[in-house]
Amino acid sequence: MIPNVTRGSDRSSKGLVGKSISYIVFTTWGLITVLPLIWMFYSSFKSNDELITNIYALPHDLFDNKEDEYTVIPRALNVILPYDPEVDTRERLIIESATISPGRRLMLHFFLKEELPPELANLQPGDTLIVSQLPPRLRLKVSWSTIWFNYFSAFIRGGLGIKFINSVIYTGVSTFLIAFLSLMISFALSKMPFKKLSVVVLALIGMGYLLSIQSVIIPLFLMLSSVKLTDTHLGIIMVYTAFGLPLAVLLMTQFMRGLPDSLIESAYMDGASTFRTFASIMVPMSTPVVITVSIISALGIWNEFLLVLVLASSESTKSLPVGVFSFTSLMGTQLGWQLAALVIATVPAIAVYLSFNKQITKGVVAGALKG
């Protein structure tokens, strides 16, 4: 009988008003969350003119490129060549789009003259040609690179490729070090004798949780400058690792204390060394907390900004957030490129989010509530 009563009261309590309000609240908030992102995505395929004149329209110019007009231009100093003219001496026809930023040498194509039919190969600077005149293979190439114009430009001009790799290195190496070092520390603190000493060490490390990189960025900068580690991968990874440790050690020690001591004792009985016990019993059993710690650390490091902004002065050490920030601030007038750079930085996050949604959510909650 009780289930019936429950269901009955359910129906009355979850009344139409409550439900409607709930839907309105969630739909409104959902739209506020998603619409800006959707706008950002589709607008990243729009040309600069479209972005200024018609903010909400769907992209059109870059896709409708069959009849685009191009002008043949001479090889001059303001043309950045995608090949080394010293090595590759084959003659090329250089054309520039007459519709997308004409005259600014932003949208260029370089065709080998030997691949062109004679009537195109003999075109002189100043002549015009239409995309549909090109042979099919080149037509496809032009069309493709027109659609992805903003993306290619952002990726190449912003040097986002190297910054992406740097971000992967920082995140990967630091996360691994955090997990590894905190596993060792937590094992010693939770499963070895010297309880009093362990309490002191745990309190000492736990105190670091009150600090962020930002609170000591000035002394860090001075210290790392004095040992010439500012603009290096090593320096940045060391800082990330050190600041990842407090939370990782707190979470792991808590977890390991919950594991039964008997396992370790029986391993000792069987004559396993401490290290052996650690590697073959504790590490495998700690997988859940290692995943949590790795997710929290990786997410934080992937998005971290200030440290790299302060420490990295050369392009080869900057991370993706810093790269995107400086690119978008410099390219103030290239709206499409800006948006494309933002999307490039977002896509990996979306991919990871969609594939590990559940674990990530759990990890974030665990990390947040520790504070």
- We find the least distance from the C-beta atom of residue 285 to other proteins, in angstroms, to be 16
- We find the least distance from the C-beta atom of residue 152 to other proteins, in angstroms, to be 19
* Number of shown-chain residues binding other proteins (CB under 8 A): 94
**194: how many CB neighbours lie within 10 A of its CB?**
11
Q: Which of 192, 200, 234, 330 binds other proteins (CB under 8 A)?
A: 192
Whichever of 251 and 335 has its CB closer to other proteins, that residue is 335
Stretch that binds other proteins, among 59-67, 93-101, 134-142, 348-356 (CB under 8 A): 348-356
Q: Which of 297, 321, 336, 340 binds other proteins (CB under 8 A)?
A: 321
Residues 199-238 that bind other proteins (CB under 8 A): 201, 204-205, 208, 210-212, 214-223, 238
Instruction: Answer yes or no whether residue 185 interacts with other proteins by CB under 8 A.
Output: yes
Whichever of 70 and 187 has its CB closer to other proteins, that residue is 187
Q: Which of 128, 194, 268, 316 binds other proteins (CB under 8 A)?
A: 194
For the chain, the three-class secondary structure string (H helix, E strand, C coil) is CHHHHHHHHHHHHCCHHHHHHHHHHHHHHHHHHHHHHHHHHHHCCCCHHHHHHCCCCCCCCCCCCCCCEEEECCCCCCCCCCCCCCCCCCCEEEEEECCCCCCCCCCEEEEEHHHCCHHHHCCCCCCEEEHHHCCHHHHHHHHHHHHCHHHHHHHHHCCHHHHHHHHHHHHHHHHHHHHHHHHHHHHHHHHCCCHHHHHHHHHHHHHHHHCCHHHHHHHHHHHHHHCCCCCCHHHHHHHHHHHHHHHHHHHHHHHHHCCCHHHHHHHHHCCCCHHHHHHHHHHHHCHHHHHHHHHHHHHHHHHCCHHHHHHCCCCCCCCHHHHHHHHHHHCCCCHHHHHHHHHHHHHHHHHHHHHHHHHHHHHHHHHHHHC
Q: How far apart are CA 226 and CA 184, in angstroms?
A: 30
Q: Which of 313, 316, 350, 355 binds other proteins (CB under 8 A)?
A: 350
Whichever of 14 and 60 has its CB closer to other proteins, that residue is 14
Whichever of 140 and 200 has its CB closer to other proteins, that residue is 200
Whichever of 56 and 287 has its CB closer to other proteins, that residue is 56
- We find the least distance from the C-beta atom of residue 166 to other proteins, in angstroms, to be 14
Residues 227-286 that bind other proteins (CB under 8 A): 238-239, 241-243, 245-246, 249, 274, 278
Whichever of 70 and 240 has its CB closer to other proteins, that residue is 240
Name the residue among 250, 329, 326, 338 with its Cα closest to residue 289. Answer: 250
Whichever of 116 and 154 has its CB closer to other proteins, that residue is 154
Residues 3-32 that bind other proteins (CB under 8 A): 5-6, 9-10, 13-15, 18-19, 22-23, 25-26, 29-30, 32
Binding mask 74-113 vs other proteins (x if CB under 8 A, - otherwise)? ----------------------------------------
Angle, helices 335-370 vs 16-43, to 10°: value is 130
Q: Which of 1, 4, 16, 33 binds other proteins (CB under 8 A)?
A: 33
Whichever of 73 and 307 has its CB closer to other proteins, that residue is 307
- We find the least distance from the C-beta atom of residue 281 to other proteins, in angstroms, to be 14
